[in-house]
A and B are shown apart, each in its own frame.
Chain A
Amino acid sequence: MARSNARRSAVATGCVLGLSFFLASCGDDGGGDDSDNTDAAGDVDCSEFEQYTEEYGDLEGTEVTIYSTITPPEDEPHIESYVPFEECTGVDVVYEHSDEFEAQLQVRINGGNPPDIAYVPQPGLLETIVQDTGAPVPAPEGVEENVDEFFSEDWKEYGTIDGTFYAAPLGSNVKSFVWYSPTTFEANGYEVPETWDDLIALSDQIVDDGGVPWCQGIASGDATGWPATDFIEDILLRTAGPEVYDQWYQHEIPFNDPQVVDAVDQAGEILKNPDYVNGGFGDVSSIATTDVNQAGLPILEEQCYLHRAASFYAPNWPEDAEIAEDGDVYAFYLPAIEEEFGDPVLGAGEFTVAFDDRPEVQAFQEYVSSAEWANDKAELGGWVSANTGVELDNYQDPISRLSAELLQDDDAVFRFDASDLMPGDVGAGSFWTGMVDWITGAETEEVLTQIEETWPEE
């Protein structure tokens, strides 16, 4: 029996060893989180925060929980930007993030445990939540006033469901960019195209010089296909105009409307042109298997010259590549096609949705819709807002500034990424997979008809 006892105690040790680990470490873990909040911005001027305490009363000792899709390392500037608010009002802002945001938010709402404020990246999801659960709280007056003052009508409309304004825009990004290398362009005598015809002429010129002009990739794990949907949306916005675009995502015209077919075919003139793609990777079908984050990198090796991608492609460039108008890489605006539709800008962004109407929650929601916060946040870099109250000089990097210029441009016609506005079955389902089929050889009309058939019944 002695041996058995020894065995037993060893098993017990194995099982319990960890427990003592945990007990021992509890002691030194306690105060870890708070200390991070105090090391930044010690010289905050609290006078501009008095409006919040005047409007919402004493907020000292309260807590606001945030739930967001923005995960480390991108979340750091966010957390840092709340510090002045926390120090001056005494509100503790608890930032929580998840890669599984879309699914988990709905689980938490159904479980009776929603966050105070969620940063929802798709207006389509916002609509679903409002209509299915009724959990979101309409935005308070202060938020609406800020949005009326600093954001365009288009942006406010995306946060409005059935006539009630719920969600103020937070960050934004611009998708209508073509990345290129200014140094390569200069060395080869290429010029940044101002019109669509120039862009095609430039592509032809590169082909004549023996190069492959474009490189694209749409592989992105279980979201493979989304970069191609952006490409199509950008073209549709340029060939058929914003009104048709709105009708399209609202399904007032069928998904396979002839105007959409034309737009997709026009995109195909680049994406499915064996002379134009896929520099550095292979033939047309390699677009489907090239990782979206890698797709633009051959530009640095001069294996391709043009890469259509969003402003948030910037972190993919190696750290030693200078992003500037005269640097190693930069981006230009994807030119308009039909002049009558102005300069369409395709983009996306997050919206702040509140699930509680406690004063501190409303105060925070108002704070992050203000120009003061947006200016502070812009200074921390790598972030763009459609907030027109932000001084362009406050943007730290050239791409953010360029994006903000487009967003603040009165002539620009902004439209939100349509696949984020469509029902999930299409916008995050058949549209993606359809694009993979299309890239790998399927006919345009056939693919669009298939997607049309998956549109949910009204």
Chain B
Amino acid sequence: MSAVQSTPETREGWDGTETVSPSARARKRLSSPGASTAAIIIAVLWTLPTFGLFLSSFRPEEEIKNNGWWNWFTDPQLTLENYREVLFGSRTELSTYVINSVAITVPSVVIPVSLALLAAYAFAWMKFPFRDTLFVAVFALQIVPIQIALVPLLQIFVDVGLNGTFWPLWIAHSTFALPLAVYLLHNFMRDIPVELIEAARVDGAGHVKIFGTIMLPLIMPAIAAFCVFQFLWVWNDLLVALTFAGSTSDVAPLTARIAELVGTRGTEWHLLSAGAFVAMIIPVLVFLTLQRFFVRGLLAGSVKG
């Protein structure tokens, strides 16, 4: 890399013999004590509200309502009461809603990703009439806002008799996710070097074989990334859930419950910080499980030589 660089930066190296690439220079600058201090300050400022929320979630009701979390340092009082109230305080156990959320989210991630993978492969590597027009049409669907589709979709679901089940949510979330999923995965698939595909064809592989043994492993980072985004989107969704699932404990997700923690007249708002952390656990776990797949290099070593 550095050998072929001939940018002005390289010529202005520290001394005549050593050439420094821009990335190395940047690394050097960013690891200077001043930059490190700035980074630490930014990180602290960034984390502080979350930390405050976390501390708040353990403070007694009266303390939360009367003063800010920083008062904890002068008057340390901790309690698990908020968590107890959030987890076991209502007629319906919170676990019911957690299970509902999982039941809503998992198929709402698996369905669009599976469909989008197949569609993206076809758009990227198969030739058929009106391919580009169709692709633009699919991508254009992105522009349709969810909000204008809610009531017509609800009418359809009620007519078909799916209402009150998980199906409307799975279908709605999948529908809304597909355009972006197809577009994103298509672009990743297009980036796979054509030599690989041709080599596979020469070896006698058909579309199914190419898709299964070449495409899937290579675009795993993209799949993981999309899984995470779609998971977080569906997990945190309240609007679609309220419209299609309502708030009965049969199908309502965790967000619907968290939104109601404050009570009819907002008197229980001290529970919100604890509720937020309970709702956060599973997405954080999913994120940590999947994140190592999409930080790795996309095509590391696939076409060497």
The interface residues of chain B lying within 8 Å CB-to-CB of A297 are: 65-66
Q: Which residue of A lies closest to B296 (CB)?
A: A7
- Interface assignment of A454: CB less than 8 Å from any CB of chain B: no
The answer on a CB contact under 8 Å between B250 and A110 is no
Tell me, in angstroms, the Cα distance from A26 to B107 when the chains sit together. 14
The answer on a CB contact under 8 Å between A11 and B293 is yes
Chain B: minimal CB distance from A72 (Å): 5
The interface residues of chain A lying within 8 Å CB-to-CB of B298 are: none
- Interface assignment of A46: CB less than 8 Å from any CB of chain B: no
Tell me, in angstroms, the Cα distance from A66 to B90 when the chains sit together. 19
A5 with B99: in contact, given A72-B91, A293-B265, A315-B265 (CB under 8 Å)?
no
Tell me, in angstroms, the Cα distance from A221 to B262 when the chains sit together. 12
Tell me, in angstroms, the Cα distance from A4 to B220 when the chains sit together. 8
Q: Please, what's the 1-or-0 string for B67-93, where 1 marks a CB less than 8 Å from any CB in chain A?
A: 000000000000000000000011110
For the residues of B in contact with A, the DSSP-based class is: helix
Interface residues of B in 178-193 (CB under 8 A from A): none
The answer on a CB contact under 8 Å between B110 and A15 is yes
The interface residues of chain A lying within 8 Å CB-to-CB of B158 are: 111-113
Chain B: minimal CB distance from A98 (Å): 5
- Interface assignment of A44: CB less than 8 Å from any CB of chain B: no
- Interface assignment of A446: CB less than 8 Å from any CB of chain B: no
The answer on a CB contact under 8 Å between A107 and B150 is yes
Interface residues of A in 302-360 (CB under 8 A from B): 312, 315-316, 318
* Stretch in contact with the other chain, from B2-10, B15-23, B239-247: B239-247
- Interface assignment of B269: CB less than 8 Å from any CB of chain A: yes
- Interface assignment of A457: CB less than 8 Å from any CB of chain B: no
The interface residues of chain B lying within 8 Å CB-to-CB of A7 are: 217, 220, 293
Tell me, in angstroms, the Cα distance from A14 to B106 when the chains sit together. 10
The answer on a CB contact under 8 Å between B289 and A22 is no
The interface residues of chain A lying within 8 Å CB-to-CB of B90 are: 72-73
Q: Which of B154, B227, B265 has the most CB of A within 10 A?
A: B265
A220 with B266: in contact, given A111-B151, A112-B158 (CB under 8 Å)?
yes
* Stretch in contact with the other chain, from A28-36, A152-160, A398-406: A28-36
The interface residues of chain A lying within 8 Å CB-to-CB of B99 are: 21-22, 25, 29
Q: Please, what's the 1-or-0 string for A56-98, where 1 marks a CB less than 8 Å from any CB in chain B?
A: 0000000000010111111110010000000000000010111
Q: Which of A15, A25, A26 has the most CB of B within 10 A?
A: A15
- Interface assignment of B290: CB less than 8 Å from any CB of chain A: yes
A11 with B223: in contact, given A22-B103, A29-B99 (CB under 8 Å)?
yes
Interface residues of A in 104-126 (CB under 8 A from B): 104, 107-108, 110-113
Chain A: minimal CB distance from B74 (Å): 19
The tally of CB-CB contacts under 8 A between chains A and B is 138
Number of B interface residues in the complex (CB < 8 A): 55
The answer on a CB contact under 8 Å between A14 and B290 is yes
The interface residues of chain A lying within 8 Å CB-to-CB of B154 are: 107-108, 110-113
Interface residues of B in 217-253 (CB under 8 A from A): 217-218, 220, 223-224, 227, 242-243, 246-250
Q: Please, what's the 1-or-0 string for B263-280, where 1 marks a CB less than 8 Å from any CB in chain A?
A: 111111100000000000
Tell me, in angstroms, the Cα distance from A113 to B244 when the chains sit together. 10
- Interface assignment of A8: CB less than 8 Å from any CB of chain B: yes
- Interface assignment of A1: CB less than 8 Å from any CB of chain B: yes
Chain A: minimal CB distance from B1 (Å): 25
A21 with B102: in contact, given A14-B290, A32-B96, A70-B264 (CB under 8 Å)?
yes
Tell me, in angstroms, the Cα distance from A104 to B216 when the chains sit together. 41
Chain B: minimal CB distance from A29 (Å): 6
Tell me, in angstroms, the Cα distance from A318 to B242 when the chains sit together. 32
Q: Which residue of A lies closest to B110 (CB)?
A: A15
Q: Which of A10, A14, A96, A294 contacts B246 (CB 8 A)?
A: A96
Q: Which of B89, B102, B248, B264 contacts A74 (CB 8 A)?
A: B264
The answer on a CB contact under 8 Å between A99 and B155 is no
Q: Which of B91, B154, B243, B264 has the most CB of A within 10 A?
A: B264
The interface residues of chain A lying within 8 Å CB-to-CB of B157 are: 111, 113
Chain B: minimal CB distance from A7 (Å): 5
The answer on a CB contact under 8 Å between B220 and A8 is yes
Q: List 29 A-B contacts (CB under 8 A).
A: A1-B213, A10-B293, A11-B290, A11-B293, A14-B286, A15-B110, A18-B102, A18-B282, A21-B102, A25-B102, A29-B96, A67-B246, A71-B264, A73-B89, A74-B263, A74-B264, A79-B91, A98-B246, A99-B260, A100-B259, A104-B242, A111-B155, A111-B157, A112-B154, A112-B155, A113-B158, A221-B266, A293-B266, A294-B65
Give the top 6 A-B pairs by smallest Cβ distance, nearest first. Answer: A111-B154, A4-B217, A18-B106, A71-B260, A22-B103, A112-B158
Q: A15-B227, A18-B105 are in contact. List 7 more A-B contacts (CB 8 A).
A: A7-B217, A21-B99, A26-B103, A69-B264, A76-B91, A98-B247, A293-B269
* B→A interface (CB under 8 Å): 62, 65-66, 89-92, 96, 99, 102-103, 105-107, 109-110, 113, 150-151, 154-155, 157-159, 163, 213, 216-218, 220, 223-224, 227, 242-243, 246-250, 256, 259-260, 263-269, 282, 286, 289-290, 293
